[in-house]
Amino acid sequence: MNLLSLFFGLLFLVSPPAQNDGLRYLENAIAKFNGIKDYVVDVKVHLDLEAVKAPDMEAKVYFKEPDKVKIDSKGLFFMPKDVGVINPRKFDPAKFLIQVIDTLTYEGDPAVRLSLTPKKDESGNHDIVLTIDKKDWLIREIGTAPSPGRTASAKITYGMFGGFMMPVKVDVKLDMGNVNGQAREFGGRRMRMNEMKGTVEVYYSNYKINTGLSDKIFERRNEE
Amino acid sequence: MSLLSIEIRKTFRRWRTYIGFIVVAGAVILLEVIIKLNETRMAQNFSHGLSGDFLISGSVLNAWVITAFIMNSLYIHVPFLIALVAGDMVSSEATSGTLRFILIRPPSRSNIITAKFFAMLFYTALLILFLGALCVGIGLAFFGGGDLISFQTGMPHIVILPAHVAAASTVMAFLAAILSMSVVGSLAFLFSTLVDNSIGPIIGSIAVVILSFIIGNLPFEFLESLRPYLFTTYMGIWQLLLNSPVDWGEVGKYALALLGYDAAFFAIAYFVFVRKDIKS
C-alpha cells in the first residue's frame, strides 16, 4: 500500500460522505410516503398577500403516484405550486445533488437540513432546502429559491390519517422582494414582485388514502 | 303627455340614438364571441404570470370577469356614444329650426331644458344598463358565473370577490357607472346649448374628457393639485364598488363630486338656455 492510498483511505474514514448521508436521510423521508398510492383531501387556502385580496378558497385535491395532481374547486382556487401539494417523491434523489447543510433540533427532535441542487439545469428546476425530522423522517420545512432574490418557504404540520403521517397545515411564506424591475402579470395587470409578499396558510382535512383513484380523474388538466 | 315623455320620445325618434345601442351590442357580442373561441388560450394568458408559482383551478374567465373587463370601455368608447346623443339634445332643435317653435308654446324654457336634461339622463342610464345586461347575459350563457377578479389601481391590485357577491357588486358598479357617464352627458348637453350645430358639442365634450384624462394621468407633481378638480378623477367610481371591502366613504366622495359636476353643468346649460336669444 503506498502512501497515497493510505492517505485517501484515512480521509474516507475520518470525513463521512455528506452526499451519502444526505441521500440516506432523503430516502428515509421518501420511504415514509411509500405506501401512499393515491389520496383525496379537502384543502382550504387562506391568502395574506400584499397584492392579492381573496376570500378563503376551498378545493378537493386528488393525488396519485408518482406525481399526478388534480384540483377540483367551485370557485377560483390557487395555492403555491412547490409547497402546496406535499409529495416527497418529487425530490427524486437521482435528479439532485444532495448535501447535508447542518444538523439541528427541530421542535425538540433531532433534524437535518439538506440542500438539493438539481443535476440538470432545466427550466423550473431550482435549489431546495429540506428540513427533515430524524425521529419520524418527516419533511418539516421546505425552502425554495425559484430565482435569485425570490424565496418561498413552507412549514408543515402533520397528523395521522389511515396509518400515514399527512400534512394538516402548511404555512407558506412568500418573499418575492429584492428583485428590481421584475413583475408578475395576472389578467394583464403587472405587479411588482415585492408586492407578491406575504403568507399563505393551507389547511388539509378529510384525507381518503389509497382508495384506488382512476387515471381518468387526472386526464382533464387543471386550468392554469 | 308630460314634457319629459315627449322629450324621451323625441330622443328615441332620432336614428342616432340607436347608434349607441347598435355599437354596444356589436362590440359586446363580437368581444365575447372572440373570447369564447379563444377561451382556453385567454384563460392561460390571463393567469400566465402566476401559473409559474401557483397551482390555479376554477374559472378565471367568467361572466363577471368579462363584464368587469368590458366596463373599462366606459372610459373612452361609451362617453363618445353618450356625447353623440347628449350633444344633440338642444343643438339639433336649433339646427332644424324647431327651437323657436317649441319656445313659443306654453311650457316654460326652464321646464323644456329640464325635461331635455332628464331625457338625456334617461338615455345615458338606458345605454349603460343595456351594456350591463348584454355583458352579463351573453357572459353567463357563454362562460357561466364564478368569482369576480377585479383590478384596482391601489393596493391590493387584485381583488377576488366570491361568486355569491359578484352579481350584486356588478349591479352596483353599473349603477355607479350611470352616474359617472351622466357627467359626460351633462357636459355635452351644456355644449349643446351653446351652439347651433351638433358636431361641436360632441367633439368638444370628448376633447374635454380626453384632455382631462391626460392631465389627470400625467406623472408630474405640479399637476397633482389639479386632479381633485378634474371630473375624470371621479369617473372610475364603479371600480371602487368592485373592491373588498367597499370604501363607502370614498364612494360617497366620488358620487358627490360627480353629482356636483352634473348640477354645475346643468345649471350653466339652464342659464344659457333661459337667456338664449332665439329671435336673431
| Residue pair B227/B233 in contact by the 8 Å Cβ criterion | yes
At B228 the pLDDT is 92
Residue B169: its chain A contacts at CB < 8 A? Answer: none
Domain count, chain B: 1
At A125 the pLDDT is 66
At B135 the pLDDT is 95
Distance from C-alpha of A83 to C-alpha of A112, rounded to nearest angstrom: 19
Q: What contacts 24+ positions apart, CB below 8 Å, involve B106-113?
A: B107/B3, B109/B273, B109/B274, B109/B276, B110/B270, B110/B274, B111/B3, B112/B3, B112/B273, B113/B193, B113/B269, B113/B270, B113/B273, B113/B274
Given a cut of 90, whether residue B179 has pLDDT beyond it is yes
Given a cut of 50, whether residue A17 has pLDDT beyond it is no
Residue A44: its chain B contacts at CB < 8 A? Answer: none
Distance from C-alpha of B203 to C-alpha of B206, rounded to nearest angstrom: 5
Given a cut of 80, whether residue B67 has pLDDT beyond it is yes
pLDDT category of residue A2 using cuts at 50, 70 and 90: low
Report the first-to-last Cα separation within chain B, whole angstroms: 31
Q: How many angstroms away from the CA of A214 is the closest CA of chain B?
A: 20
CB within 8 Å: B55 and A84: yes
Residue A160 resides in a domain: yes
At B48 the pLDDT is 67
Given a cut of 50, whether residue A15 has pLDDT beyond it is no
At A122 the pLDDT is 58
Residue A35 resides in a domain: yes
Q: How many angstroms away from the CA of B38 is the closest CA of chain A?
A: 14
Domain count, chain A: 1
Q: Which pTM value belongs to this model? A: 0.79
Residue A11 resides in a domain: no
pLDDT category of residue A222 using cuts at 50, 70 and 90: very low
Dihedral angle, C-alpha A114, A117, A118, A124, nearest 10 °: 90
Inform me whether the C-beta atom of residue A93 falls under 8 Å from chain B C-beta atoms: no
Secondary structure (3-state) at A80? strand
Q: Which residue has the higher pLDDT, B25 or A221?
A: B25
Q: Does residue A66 have a cis peptide bond before it, meaning omega lies within 30 degrees of 0?
A: yes
At A14 the pLDDT is 47
Give the range with max mean pLDDT: A212-221, B97-106, B235-244: B235-244
pLDDT category of residue A89 using cuts at 50, 70 and 90: confident
pLDDT category of residue B241 using cuts at 50, 70 and 90: very high
pLDDT category of residue B128 using cuts at 50, 70 and 90: very high
Distance from C-alpha of A200 to C-alpha of A82, rounded to nearest angstrom: 13
pLDDT category of residue B42 using cuts at 50, 70 and 90: confident
Residue A34 resides in a domain: yes
Residue A47 resides in a domain: yes
Residue B11 resides in a domain: yes
Given a cut of 70, whether residue B32 has pLDDT beyond it is yes
Given a cut of 70, whether residue A9 has pLDDT beyond it is no
Q: Output the domain CATH number for residue A91.
A: 2.50.20.10
Residue A213 resides in a domain: yes
Q: How many angstroms away from the CA of B189 is the closest CA of chain A?
A: 35
Which residue range forms the structural domain that includes residue A154? 16-217
At A6 the pLDDT is 54
| Residue pair A29/A139 in contact by the 8 Å Cβ criterion | yes
Q: Mean pLDDT lowest for which of A44-58, A72-86, B28-42, B158-172? A: A72-86
Q: Mean pLDDT lowest for which of A86-90, A141-145, A177-181, B204-208? A: A177-181
Residue B279 resides in a domain: no
For chain B, the three-class secondary structure string (H helix, E strand, C coil) is: CCHHHHHHHHHHHCCHHHHHHHHHHHHHHHHHHHHHHCHHHHHHHHCHHHHCCEEEECCCCCHHHHHHHHHHHHHCHHHHHHHHHHCCCCHHHHHHCHHHHHHCCCCCHHHHHHHHHHHHHHHHHHHHHHHHHHHHHHHHHHHCCCCEEEECCCCCCEEEECHHHHHHHHHHHHHHHHHHHHHHHHHHHHHHHHCCCCHHHHHHHHHHHHHHHHHHHCCCHHHHHHHHHCHHHHCCHHHHCCCCCCCHHHHHHHHHHHHHHHHHHHHHHHHHHHCCCCCC
User: From residue B160, how far is each of A75, B60, B165 by CA, in Å?
Assistant: 10, 10, 10
Q: From chain B, which residues contact A within 8 Å (Cβ)? A: 43-44, 46-60, 65, 69, 146-147, 149, 151, 155-163, 244
CB within 8 Å: B158 and A53: yes
DSSP character for A215?
G
Average pLDDT, chain B: 88
Residue A2 resides in a domain: no
Residue B84 resides in a domain: yes
Q: Which residue has the higher pLDDT, B165 or A176?
A: B165
CB within 8 Å: B59 and A223: yes
The residue-averaged pLDDT of A110-126 equals 79
Secondary structure (3-state) at A38? strand
The residue-averaged pLDDT of B274-280 equals 72
Given a cut of 50, whether residue A55 has pLDDT beyond it is yes
Which residue range forms the structural domain that includes residue B101? 3-274
In this structure, what C-alpha cell is assigned to residue B178? 350611470
Residue A10 resides in a domain: no
Q: What angle do CA A115, A117, A119 make, to 5 degrees?
A: 150
Q: What angle do CA B41, A71, B242 make, to 5 degrees?
A: 65
Distance from C-alpha of A60 to C-alpha of A77, rounded to nearest angstrom: 10
At A77 the pLDDT is 87
Given a cut of 80, whether residue B103 has pLDDT beyond it is no
Residue B157: its chain A contacts at CB < 8 A? Answer: 51-52, 189, 191, 195
Distance from C-alpha of B220 to C-alpha of B210, rounded to nearest angstrom: 17
B-contacting residues in A 145-204 (Cβ below 8 Å): 146, 152, 174, 183-191, 195-196
Supply the ipTM of this predicted assembly: 0.71
